[in-house]
């Protein structure tokens, strides 16, 4: 019988789950990928995230992404591709968006569209997994929304990266949380020139055509200087080649905008600070 | 009398001098405004600011086209997504982009590479592909938008990076750039994709020299701005409205025209009740300030994902006996709109396709009659489908025939809407579809010659598979385009007769151009099957799953110039 091999692997998996490594006993659950009820959990997730628009097509019929129906799969590989994506292609990883159970249910759903042959027949689910690293307070959530607000053309994320999101023109703010007090952060934001973060002093380049450009130096070598021109937002990274440069100097003024004290209300500022400080 | 004419002459000479100096100061805009008068070059994405994709070159003509042979080819080395670009040619140098944002400068006569630039793609949105449709060139710089939403400026001579700017984080916004920028005076105008994501669209202008942001036009007005009331609740924040292709420019009126794409969620409209301005509109902006001068919304409250993003062709033609400044703009819905480009007045709309049921028609005032909308939870047959009555690949206008040439796609979809909540930067379709043939015939495609104002058609070239490449027309009475099976074709502009073809080995999804170097005319075409829509074709034609992708630029010229056939075959 065609499926006997899979029953075997299910048995082995169950055995492993029950009697295998000690910690996996407490934390993992084995999923039967042939269980139609489980696969049906994947159908709406597939429709919303994978079939959509130009991607894999309704019921995996093909699109910008390859046809998924009518194929033979290795379940583990399929799960991993959905979880991690494929670099340098339009296939994103879904680990930050869907939980493991969701990804396994999509795996089961795709397998169900397939040729009927697949292996292994089970998936391993780590229990207690959370997608967001940390549940934020409502204050910090409001602060996060302000920090990343795409409708605000002066949003912090244009220059700052925090917990792997945002640009790296200014200092990374994830580590700032542990070292700075609320007052210090408040001063950093409303009066940026009061203290200047080390490595982010302003550089001024005098260009041969008379233009003077100030901002944050990204890199320099014998050939050229790369400078974020912070006079504009978003700040372009400009490259000046040595033969264009008349002079380079520094300044004690911060390259961060000075308007946040007026732009945000005290409670909004408190929200942003709560967000910055909300990290581990 | 004599004195008077002498004075007049002096005035003229002085005026001429003034004009010349002004020209000297603004060589870029002057050249671009008059691009049609230097047919040896292909200076801007659509060939000219008027977006005709027409060339005055006539060395290659219907009489000698059979002697056309390939003279060089170029391979960017990435086949994912095919090759979708329009090459730009300036004074003997070609600038070509490929998937993954590679840019190449190539000797346009020999094919020898001069330099390359590879943009390193960081976080980019999942939905819109890694491909790229071309650059803008001017001020000694080459400008490219990137899949992860940067605008990059390179030194045209060396390929060295001069500036680059991240417009919005691609991972966060679920948006990026695949379209070519448009250079207007000292500004680079660049659109954005993301219309099928939870994203608020915009059009941006950057200073060409410095990369500093000059203006942003939000395609969806914010609270307090006129038009915001056409969006229910907070839906404006994630309402789509992308600007993913390249606009046109009228230098006399100083108006920049751009198409704004569909609202999101694409198929589920209940959470965004209202007209959803300025999605599905042609907008006319002051290119110096980004201020809206007029707009015309073609589809209020779109629920079909019909983008108003295609080419905006500027024509000065009689309309009802009076010469008017017109816009003729084909649309994904399969209709072509004719507007007055001075004020956005609706004049006419005509259909490219025969299979259409999303509306019953369009009345004399431009209102849609008999809307046929997707419904929640059950499949419905709608024509054309999300893949369009026409794809984005551009049509062409020949002033010699006075006709507009365009492809059209006869296919439908079974579509089902579902409610969906916006997740910032994530796909936001609100529905699912399957491609199906039209009720009474097989799915197919055609390329036709039309009266641009009335839509009357004069000839029709049929194709089994969708025609997904742009058209080029020339004063040599030739129309060039490519098909899905890899044939690069030359048709007679007057009859549609197929005069010549060349098998390039992979299907066509890009835009051919023509140019000349040292008096010799060349025709260049990207070849390389790929893209989102190409990927959907197996739903109707299973064999197309095995249409191999590729990415090669082929360049042709007449055999009796330079290397002869005989020499080659030895």
Cβ contact A34:A104 at 8 Å: no
Q: Compare CB distances from B434 to A49, A61, A167 and report the shortest one's residue.
A: A61
B128–A90: do the CB atoms touch at under 8 Å?
yes
Count how many pairs of residues, chain A against chain B, have C-beta atoms within 8 Å: 131
Can you tell me the distance from the alpha carbon of B67 to that of A112, in angstroms, rounded to the nearest whole number?
A: 55
Q: In chain A, which residues have pLDDT < 50?
A: 1-25, 280
Q: Token pair for residue A167?
A: 């640009």
What are the chain B neighbours of A241 within 8 Å (beta carbons)? 160
Shortest alpha-carbon distance between residue A90 and chain B (Å): 5
Please list the residues that pair with B449 across neighbouring strands: B405, B459
A151 CA to chain B: closest CA distance, Å? 8
* Nearest CB neighbour to A53, from listed B212, B418, B429: B429
Evaluated on CA atoms B102, B103, B108, B111, the torsion sign reads negative
Query: What local confidence, expressed as pLDDT, does residue A128 receive?
Result: 62
- On whether the CB atoms of residues A125 and A54 are closer than 8 A, the answer is no
Phi and psi, residue B546, nearest 5°: -100, 15
The length of chain A, given as a count of residues: 280
Which of the residues A84, A146, A151, A234 would you substitute to probe the B interface, choosing the one with the greatest number of B C-beta atoms within 10 Å? Answer: A234
Told to judge if B305 belongs to the known catalytic residues of this protein, a careful annotator would answer: yes
Tell me how close the Cα of A69 comes to any Cα of chain B, in angstroms.
11
**Mutation choice for A interface testing from B161, B165, B214, B237 by most A CBs within 10 A:** B165
DSSP at B531: S
Decide if B535 and A91 are in contact by the 8 Å CB cutoff: no
Strand partners, B503: B487
**Are A238 and B216 inside 8 Å of each other by CB?**
no
Kindly give, in sequence order, each residue whose CB lies less than 8 Å from that of residue B355, ignoring residues fewer than 6 positions away.
B383, B384, B389, B410, B411, B412, B438, B439, B441
At B261, list the tokens: 């794409």
Edge-first strand listing for the sheet containing B457-463: B396-398, B403-410, B444-450, B457-463
| B421: contact with A, CB 8 A cutoff | no
Of residues A54, A151, A234, nearest to B532 (C-beta): A54
pLDDT of residue B313: 98
Beta-carbon separation of A57 and B434 below 8 A: yes
Tell me whether residues B163 and A239 touch, CB distance under 8 A: yes
Interface check for B163 against chain A (CB to CB < 8 A): the answer is yes
Cα–Cα distance for residue pair B462/B155, rounded to 1 Å: 43
Tell me which fold the domain A138-195+258-278 belongs to: Cytochrome Bc1 Complex; Chain D, domain 2 (1.10.760)
Q: How far is B453 from chain A (nearest CA, A)?
A: 32
Partners of residue A65 in chain B, C-beta under 8 Å = 535
- Report residue B396 as tokens: 């062409």
Inter-chain touch B434–A97, beta carbons under 8 Å: no
Bond before B278 cis per omega within 30 degrees? yes
Quickly count: other Cβ atoms within 10 Å of residue A7's Cβ. Answer: 12
In this prediction, residue B234 carries a pLDDT of: 95
Question: So where are chain B's domains?
Answer: 40-568
Q: Residue B20 has what pLDDT?
A: 38
- In this structure, the strands spanning B102-107 and B113-118 are antiparallel
CA-CA distance, B413 to B357, in Å (whole number)?
Answer: 11
Q: Can you name the CATH fold of A202-251?
A: SH3 type barrels. (2.30.30)
DSSP code at position B264 = S
> How far is the alpha carbon of B166 from chain A, nearest alpha carbon, in Å?
7
Q: Which of A98, A53, A116, A106 lies closest to A79, judged by CA? A: A106
| Contact with chain A for residue B380, Cβ under 8 A | no
Dihedral (CA of B450, B455, B457, B462) sign: positive
Largest Cα separation within chain B, whole Å, is 85
CATH superfamily of A29-132: Cytochrome c-like domain (1.10.760.10)
Give pLDDT tens digits for A166-220.
Answer: 999 999 998 877 789 999 999 999 999 999 999 999 999 999 999 999 999 999 9
Cα B279 from chain centroid (whole Å): 17
Q: Is there a contact between B219 and B243 (Cβ–Cβ < 8 Å)?
A: yes
From chain B, the residues in CB contact with A58 under 8 A are 432-434
pLDDT of chain B, 570 residues: tens digit per residue: 445 554 444 444 444 444 433 333 445 789 999 999 999 999 999 999 999 999 999 999 999 999 999 999 999 999 988 999 999 999 999 999 999 999 999 999 999 999 999 999 887 777 888 999 999 999 999 999 999 999 999 999 999 999 999 999 998 999 999 999 999 999 999 999 999 999 999 999 999 999 999 999 999 999 999 999 999 999 999 999 999 999 999 999 999 999 999 999 999 999 999 999 999 999 999 999 999 999 999 999 999 999 888 999 999 999 999 999 999 999 999 999 999 999 999 999 999 999 999 999 999 999 999 999 999 999 999 999 999 999 999 999 999 999 999 999 999 999 999 999 999 999 999 999 999 999 999 999 999 999 999 999 999 999 999 999 999 999 999 999 999 999 999 999 999 999 999 999 999 999 999 999 999 999 999 999 988 888 899 999 999 999 999 999 999 999 975 444 444 433
Nearest to B220 by CA among B253, B205, B198, B188: B198
Q: How many CA atoms lie within 13 A of B450 on its CB side?
A: 26
Residues B424, A150: C-beta atoms closer than 8 Å: yes
B199 contacts in A (CB within 8 Å)?
A: 150
- What residue in B sits closest to A154 (Cα-Cα)? B168
B424 touches chain A (CB under 8 A): yes
Contact (CB, 8 A) for B141 and B208: yes
pLDDT at A200: 96
Nearest-angstrom CA–CA distance, B510 and B532: 13
Give the mutation candidate from A46, A53, A205 for the B interface (greatest B CB count, under 10 A).
A53
Residues of B whose CB is below 8 A from A210? none
Taking an 8 Å cut-off on Cβ atoms, the answer to whether B129 and A153 are in contact is no
User: H helices of chain A, where?
Assistant: 4-19, 22-27, 36-49, 75-84, 100-112, 138-148, 176-179, 182-190, 260-263, 266-276
User: Does domain B40-568 sit in CATH 2.140.10.10?
Assistant: yes
In chain A, where are the structural domains located? Answer: 29-132, 138-195+258-278, 202-251
Q: Can you tell me the distance from the alpha carbon of B225 to that of B36, in angstroms, rounded to the nearest whole number?
A: 39
Q: What is the residue-wise DSSP string for A149-203?
A: -TT-TT-GGGT-EETTEE--SS---TTHHHH--HHHHHHHHH-GGGS--TT--EE
The partner residue sitting opposite A64, judged by closest CB among B171, B200, B535, is B535
Same fold, A138-195+258-278 and A202-251: no
Q: Residue B365: count other Cβ atoms within 10 Å of its Cβ.
A: 6
Q: Is B130 on the interface with A (CB under 8 A)?
A: yes
Half-sphere exposure of B115 (CA within 13 A, CB side): 11
Who among A53, A211, A239 is closest to B161 (CB)?
Answer: A239
């Amino acid at each position: 019988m065609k499926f006997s091999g899979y029953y075997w692997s299910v048995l082995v998996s169950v055995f492993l789950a029950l009697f295998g490594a000690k910690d996996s006993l407490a934390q993992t659950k084995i999923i039967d990928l042939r269980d139609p009820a489980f696969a049906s959990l994947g159908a709406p997730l597939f429709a919303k995230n994978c079939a959509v628009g130009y991607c894999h097509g309704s019921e995996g019929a093909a699109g910008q992404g390859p046809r998924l129906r009518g194929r033979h799969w290795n379940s583990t590989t399929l799960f991993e591709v959905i979880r991690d994506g494929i670099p340098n292609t339009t296939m994103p990883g879904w680990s930050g968006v869907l939980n493991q159970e969701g990804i396994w249910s999509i795996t089961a759903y795709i397998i169900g569209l397939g040729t009927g042959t697949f292996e292994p027949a089970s998936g391993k689910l780590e229990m207690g997994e959370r997608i967001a690293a940390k549940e934020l307070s409502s204050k910090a959530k409001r602060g996060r929304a302000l920090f990343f607000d795409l409708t605000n053309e002066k949003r912090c994320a244009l220059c700052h990266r925090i917990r792997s999101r945002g640009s790296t023109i200014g200092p990374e703010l994830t580590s700032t949380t542990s070292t700075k007090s609320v007052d210090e952060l408040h001063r950093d934001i409303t009066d940026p020139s009061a203290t200047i973060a080390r490595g982010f002093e302003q550089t001024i380049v005098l260009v041969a055509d008379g233009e003077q450009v100030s901002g944050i130096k990204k890199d320099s070598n014998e050939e050229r200087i790369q400078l974020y021109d912070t006079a504009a937002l978003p700040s372009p990274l400009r490259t000046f080649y040595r033969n264009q440069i008349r002079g380079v100097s520094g300044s004690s003024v911060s390259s961060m905008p000075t308007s946040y004290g007026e732009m945000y209300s005290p409670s909004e500022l408190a929200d942003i600070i709560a967000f910055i400080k909300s990290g581990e | 009398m004599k004195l008077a004419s002498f004075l007049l002459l002096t005035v003229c000479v002085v005026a001429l001098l003034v004009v010349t100096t002004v020209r000297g100061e603004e060589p870029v805009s002057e050249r671009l405004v008059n691009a049609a008068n230097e047919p040896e070059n292909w200076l801007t994405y659509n060939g000219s600011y008027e977006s005709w994709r027409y060339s005055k070159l006539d060395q290659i003509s219907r009489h000698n086209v059979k002697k056309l042979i390939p003279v060089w080819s170029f391979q960017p080395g990435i086949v994912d997504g095919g090759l979708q670009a329009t090459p730009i040619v300036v004074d003997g140098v070609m600038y070509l982009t490929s998937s993954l944002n590679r840019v190449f400068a190539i000797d346009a006569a020999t094919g020898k590479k001069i330099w390359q630039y590879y943009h390193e793609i960081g976080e980019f949105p999942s939905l819109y592909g890694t491909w790229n449709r071309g650059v803008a060139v001017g001020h000694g710089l080459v400008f490219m938008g990137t899949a992860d939403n940067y605008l990059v400026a390179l030194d045209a001579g060396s390929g060295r990076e001069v500036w680059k700017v991240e417009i919005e984080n691609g991972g966060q916004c679920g948006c990026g750039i695949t379209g070519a920028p448009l250079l207007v005076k000292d500004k680079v105008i660049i659109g954005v994709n993301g219309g099928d994501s939870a994203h608020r669209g915009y059009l941006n202008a950057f200073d060409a020299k410095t990369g500093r942001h000059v203006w942003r036009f939000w395609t969806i007005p914010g609270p307090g701005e006129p038009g915001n009331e056409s969006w229910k609740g907070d839906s404006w924040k994630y309402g789509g409205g992308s600007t993913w292709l390249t606009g046109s420019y009228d230098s006399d009126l100083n108006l920049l025209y751009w198409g704004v794409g569909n609202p999101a969620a694409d198929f589920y409209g209940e959470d965004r009740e209202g007209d959803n301005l300025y999605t599905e509109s042609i907008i006319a902006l002051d290119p110096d300030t980004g201020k809206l001068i007029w707009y015309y919304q073609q589809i209020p409250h779109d629920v079909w994902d019909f983008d108003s993003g295609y080419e905006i062709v500027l024509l000065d033609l009689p309309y009802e006996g009076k010469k008017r400044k017109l816009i003729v703009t084909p649309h994904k819905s399969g209709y072509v709109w004719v507007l007055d480009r001075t004020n956005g007045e609706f004049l006419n709309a005509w259909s490219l396709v025969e299979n259409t049921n999303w509306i019953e028609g369009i009345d004399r005032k431009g209102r849609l009659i008999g809307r046929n909308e997707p419904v929640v939870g059950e499949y419905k047959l709608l024509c054309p489908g999300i893949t369009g009555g026409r794809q984005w690949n551009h049509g062409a206008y020949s002033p010699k025939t006075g006709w507009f040439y365009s492809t059209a796609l006869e296919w439908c979809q079974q579509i089902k809407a579902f409610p969906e909540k916006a997740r910032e930067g994530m796909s936001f379709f609100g529905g699912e579809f399957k491609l199906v043939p039209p009720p009474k015939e097989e799915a197919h495609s055609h390329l036709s010659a039309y009266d641009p104002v009335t839509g009357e058609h004069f000839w029709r070239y049929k194709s089994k598979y969708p025609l997904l490449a742009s058209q080029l027309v020339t004063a040599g009475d030739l129309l060039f385009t490519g098909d899905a099976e890899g044939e690069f074709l030359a048709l007679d502009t007057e009859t549609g007769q197929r005069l010549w073809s060349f098998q390039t080995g992979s299907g066509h999804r890009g835009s051919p151009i023509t140019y000349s170097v040292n008096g010799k005319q060349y025709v260049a075409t990207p070849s390389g099957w790929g893209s989102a829509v190409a990927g959907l074709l197996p739903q109707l034609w299973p064999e197309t799953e095995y249409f191999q992708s590729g990415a090669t630029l082929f360049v042709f010229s007449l055999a009796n110039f330079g290397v002869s056939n005989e020499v080659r075959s030895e």
